[in-house]
Amino acid sequence: MAFTKTTSGATPSSTPGDQPAIRRRRSQWRSSPVLGQIAVILALLLLWELASHHLYNPFWGSRPSMIAERLWELALSGHLWMHTSTTLQEAGAGLLLAAAVGVPVGIGLARAPRLARLLDPIIMGLYGLPRVALAPLFILWFGIGLISKIMMSFTMVLFIFILNVMEGIRTIDQDQLDLMKSMRAGKMYVAWTVLLPAVVPWIMASFRIGVGLALIGAVVGELIGSNRGLGWYVESSGGQLDTTGVFSGLIVLMILAMLANYLIGFIEKRMIKWR
Amino acid sequence: MALMANVNRADRMPMSPTPQPAQSPRAELRDLRISFPLPDMSTLEVISGISMTVAEGEFVAVVGPSGSGKSTILRALCGLLEPSGGSVLVDGKPVSGPPPGVGFMFQKDALLPWRTVAGNIRIGAELGGVPGDRREERVASLIKLLRLDGFENAWPRQLSGGMRQRVSLGRLLAYQPSLMLMDEPFGALDYQTKIAMGKELLSVWEAERRAIIFVTHDIEEAVALADRVLVFSARPARIIADYKVMLPRPRHMRSMRGDPAFTRLTEAIWSDLALPE
Ligand SMILES: Nc1ncnc2c1ncn2[C@@H]1O[C@H](COP(=O)(O)OP(=O)(O)OP(=O)(O)O)[C@@H](O)[C@H]1O
Ligand SMILES: [Mg+2]
């Protein structure tokens, strides 16, 4: 008959309500790793630069100074923005479309386990399919414009959303749902107060994983058939044995992925304060 | 005045549905049976024929060994669980799905981690039909009652186990149920807070006279708070004793503990639990 799990020191005057107010914000900047991260990147670039002068012919691996020069030229001519914005649009639209379709489908499947079981082999089959291989088909169906790349990004990311959201709903504490039921909460109320908040972290995680995949989708689409975009630029530079061009494209892609990740991390912190 | 604990052994005097006046009891179980399917295709009989009634405004405590089916009975009363036999009535109507006016405080607090203390309590007010312009006031007064002042905007992860339980109690009270099902509501509280919360619960109950079924492992707590104490046997659960607590109200925790009637009753329940038939 154990019932005394004490919550505070047992002096008669201290009720738990008297405890000091809570520190709500954890310090973010004091142990910020940003400076260290930048230092590591600069050191690596320096090593690369030195290696290209002393260890190998820059024809094969280019060098940071040449890449910087190229990026500068591309920026001045407006080509940098054209390619970058094209790829961004394709990947961004694919990512958002995947979220818009994947989240409701995931919630629906999680709430209808019979249907989910029925569709399980199909979903897992499509998920397991190397969707990169769909690129030629999409080019055939949707042409070499924006749509085929959006569809590539979309198919790359869609299942991430569906599966994550399903898992998120599955991990909801049954007691929370029963409690809502015991108070006769309506479906919409439950969706709004329990289901949606519970899956927000899973949606954010899907965005995190999805950014990279959406870029892959867009770039693969561009490699196979297009006339613009970072993937196209990499591909056409490669065709001309222009390694500096290839690396310039790759580096812009890397920076995009990095920035998108930061952006999502930022939004995540704003949205999930309760963790 | 001699205070007598009226000992009414159920094994000698079977619980028949006591004749009620015209008004139906708040809650009634008639020969309730509940069993769960086990993975090996057999069934686990948890409740094998329990009958009991809870009158309007009555405070009934339930004690019994762990795993005997106390939580299960509350779930059945709240319509979260389909009985395998017998019937469950709330306000005279057979239960199918959660009946209106029944609030359930779970053994686990089941707080929503993405809602603050105030936000979690507000859920009770929202679902209990407290009008929009009165909700904040209601939430604030409950926060005060439960000594959670200063923590209105804290997230559940920032609370101690006992504080979480108090928030869960706040949500229940905000819902304003006419029948409160409370599953070890003070199980995670320290002694002082537990006594204080018991007092608050009694004052809320005395003011509003809502029927309460209060599951606890603490015999003294059961006797101190309730009008009746039901003692459950080990699984499959039956009611082995039904004690009427004749202690006067309002109850004073300190003086009551020295009362011979109090001691006699706790002793009797203790021996019921220690020596299951
Ligand atoms: N959904 C379920 N499926 C199978 N068995 C269950 C289920 N729920 C409860 N049981 C079983 O029913 C029995 C009674 O459970 P219950 O939770 O009602 O006990 P309790 O009296 O509340 O115990 P405690 O005091 O430890 O909380 C237990 O043996 C438990 O294993
Ligand atoms: Mg229990």
- For the stretch B34-55, pLDDT in tens is 999 988 888 888 998 899 999 9
Enumerate the residues of chain B whose CB falls inside 8 A of the CB of residue A5. Answer: 161-162, 187-190
Instruction: Kindly state the average pLDDT of the residues B219-234.
Output: 92
pLDDT at A85: 95
Instruction: Kindly state the average pLDDT of the residues B207-222.
Output: 92
- CA A79 vs CA A73, A223, A258: distances in Å: 9, 17, 21
Interchain pair B217, A3: CB under 8 A: yes
For residues B33 and B158, membership in a common domain is answered with no
Which ipTM was obtained for this model?
Answer: 0.85
- CA A201 vs CA A97, A262, B98: distances in Å: 18, 16, 31
- Does the pLDDT of residue A84 top 90, yes or no? yes
For residues B2 and B64, membership in a common domain is answered with yes
- Does the pLDDT of residue B8 top 90, yes or no? no
For residues B57 and B129, membership in a common domain is answered with no
- Does the pLDDT of residue B248 top 90, yes or no? no
CATH architecture of the domain formed by A62-271: Orthogonal Bundle (1.10)
Q: Whose CA is nearest to atom 5 of ligand 1?
A: B36
Domain presence at residue B106: no
| Surrounding residues of ion ligand 2, Cβ less than 5 A | B 71, 107
Instruction: Kindly state the average pLDDT of the residues A6-25.
Output: 42
pLDDT at B17: 47
pTM of this structure? 0.78
Domain presence at residue B216: yes
Interchain pair A16, B162: CB under 8 A: yes
Position A247 confidence tier, pLDDT thresholds 50, 70, 90: very high
Domain span including residue B139: 111-176
pLDDT at B211: 94
Domain presence at residue B149: yes
Domain presence at residue B82: yes
For residues B130 and B211, membership in a common domain is answered with no
Instruction: Kindly state the average pLDDT of the residues A228-242.
Output: 93
Q: Is the CB of B36 under 6 A from ligand 1?
A: yes
Of B255 and A242, more confident = A242
Position B255 confidence tier, pLDDT thresholds 50, 70, 90: confident
pLDDT at A14: 39
Instruction: Kindly state the average pLDDT of the residues B192-213.
Output: 88
For residues B195 and B223, membership in a common domain is answered with yes
- Does the pLDDT of residue B71 top 80, yes or no? yes
What is the domain partition of chain A in residue ranges? Answer: 62-271
pLDDT at A141: 93
Which ligand has the nearest atom to the CA of B70? Answer: 1
**Domain end: B130, B160, B176, which one?**
B176
pLDDT tens string A89-134: 999 999 999 999 999 999 899 988 899 999 999 988 988 888 888 8
Position B207 confidence tier, pLDDT thresholds 50, 70, 90: confident
pLDDT at A117: 92
Whole-number Å distance between alpha carbons of B12 and B239: 12
Position A151 confidence tier, pLDDT thresholds 50, 70, 90: very high
For residues B25 and B88, membership in a common domain is answered with yes
pLDDT at B167: 94
For residues B144 and B25, membership in a common domain is answered with no
Q: Is the CB of B51 under 6 A from ligand 1?
A: no
pLDDT at B22: 53
Query: Is residue B100 within 8 Å of residue A184, measured between CB atoms?
Result: yes
Query: Is residue B174 within 8 Å of residue B130, measured between CB atoms?
Result: yes
- Interface A-B, measured as beta-carbon pairs within 8 A, has a size of 114
Q: What's the whole-number average pLDDT of chain B?
A: 87
For residues B69 and B129, membership in a common domain is answered with no
Of A208 and A16, more confident = A208
| Residues facing residue B90 across a β-bridge | B27, B93
| Residues facing residue B32 across a β-bridge | B50
pLDDT at A18: 40
pLDDT at B275: 55
Domain presence at residue B128: yes
**Domain end: B176, B202, B218, which one?**
B176
Position A226 confidence tier, pLDDT thresholds 50, 70, 90: confident
**Domain end: B131, B153, B176, which one?**
B176
For residues B96 and B186, membership in a common domain is answered with yes
Estimate the crossing angle of helix A230-239 against helix A243-271, to 10 degrees: 160
Position A160 confidence tier, pLDDT thresholds 50, 70, 90: very high
Position A30 confidence tier, pLDDT thresholds 50, 70, 90: low
**Hey, which of B71, B74, B77 would you mutate to test ligand 1's pocket, going by the most ligand atoms within 8 Å of its Cβ?**
B71
Instruction: Kindly state the average pLDDT of the residues B200-204.
Output: 88
Position B251 confidence tier, pLDDT thresholds 50, 70, 90: confident
Domain count for chain B, please give it. Answer: 2
Instruction: Kindly state the average pLDDT of the residues B159-167.
Output: 90
For residues B93 and B23, membership in a common domain is answered with yes
Interchain pair A176, B147: CB under 8 A: no
Which ligand has the nearest atom to the CA of B37? Answer: 1
For residues B198 and B269, membership in a common domain is answered with yes
For residues B90 and B117, membership in a common domain is answered with no
Instruction: Kindly state the average pLDDT of the residues A223-244.
Output: 92
Domain presence at residue B236: yes
- Does the pLDDT of residue A205 top 50, yes or no? yes
Structure tokens at A201: 């972290």
Instruction: Kindly state the average pLDDT of the residues B94-115.
Output: 92
For A85, other C-beta atoms within 10 Å of its C-beta total 14
Position B277 confidence tier, pLDDT thresholds 50, 70, 90: very low
